C-alpha cells in the first residue's frame, strides 16, 4: 500500500492551466476511494484479529489433541500392563494350584504307604498271633492227650 487514508485525504492535484480536472469531481472520487480504502483497512484489521483468534484456537486444540494422544498412550500402556499382570496372576494361581495338587497327591501317597505298612504290620502280627495260638493249642492238646488216654484206659 502506497497511501494511507489520511494521505489520500490530504492529497492535492496540481491544476493545469488549460483543461484541468474538475476539483469537485476529483474530490468526490478521492472521498469514495478514501472511504473504500478505510473500509478495507478496517476489514483487514478485523480479519487479522480473527486469524489471530483462530490461530490461538488452533493452538489450543492442538494442545488438547496432544494431551488426548498422550492420555491414549498412557491408557494403552496401562491396559497392556493390567493385561500382563492379569496373565501373571493367572499363571501364579495355576502354579499354586499345581503345587497344592502335587502336595495333596504326595500326602495321599504317603498315607497309602503308611496304611500299607500298617496293613503289613497287622498281617504279620496276625500271623504271629495265629502261630502262637496254634502253638498254645498244640501244647494244650499235648497236655490233654495223656489225660484223655488215662480216662480212656479206665
How far is residue 126's CA from residue 154's CA, in Å, rounded to a whole number? 41
pLDDT value at residue 145: 83
Q: What is the pLDDT of residues 110-146, one digit of tens each?
A: 999 999 999 999 999 999 999 999 999 999 888 888 8
How far is residue 96's CA from residue 56's CA, in Å, rounded to a whole number? 59
Q: Are 65 and 57 in contact (CB under 8 A)?
A: no
Which three-class secondary structure state does DSSP give residue 154?
A: coil
Query: Global pTM?
Result: 0.46
Q: Are 8 and 33 in contact (CB under 8 A)?
A: yes
How far is residue 109's CA from residue 113's CA, in Å, rounded to a whole number? 6
pLDDT value at residue 100: 97
Amino acid at each position: 500500500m502506497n497511501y494511507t487514508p489520511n494521505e489520500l485525504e490530504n492529497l492535492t492535484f496540481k491544476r493545469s492551466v488549460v483543461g484541468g480536472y474538475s476539483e469537485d469531481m476529483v474530490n468526490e472520487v478521492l472521498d469514495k476511494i478514501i472511504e473504500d480504502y478505510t473500509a478495507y483497512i478496517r476489514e483487514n484489521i478485523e480479519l487479522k484479529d480473527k486469524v489471530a483468534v483462530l490461530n490461538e484456537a488452533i493452538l489450543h486444540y492442538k494442545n488438547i489433541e496432544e494431551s488426548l494422544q498422550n492420555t491414549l498412550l498412557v491408557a494403552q500402556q496401562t491396559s497392556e500392563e493390567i493385561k500382563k499382570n492379569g496373565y501373571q496372576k493367572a499363571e501364579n494361581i495355576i502354579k499354586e494350584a499345581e503345587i497344592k495338587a502335587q502336595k495333596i497327591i504326595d500326602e495321599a501317597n504317603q498315607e497309602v504307604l503308611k496304611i500299607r505298612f500298617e496293613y503289613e504290620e497287622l498281617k504279620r502280627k496276625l500271623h504271629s498271633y495265629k502261630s502262637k495260638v496254634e502253638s498254645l493249642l498244640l501244647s494244650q492238646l499235648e497236655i490233654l492227650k495223656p489225660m484223655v488216654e488215662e480216662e480212656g484206659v479206665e
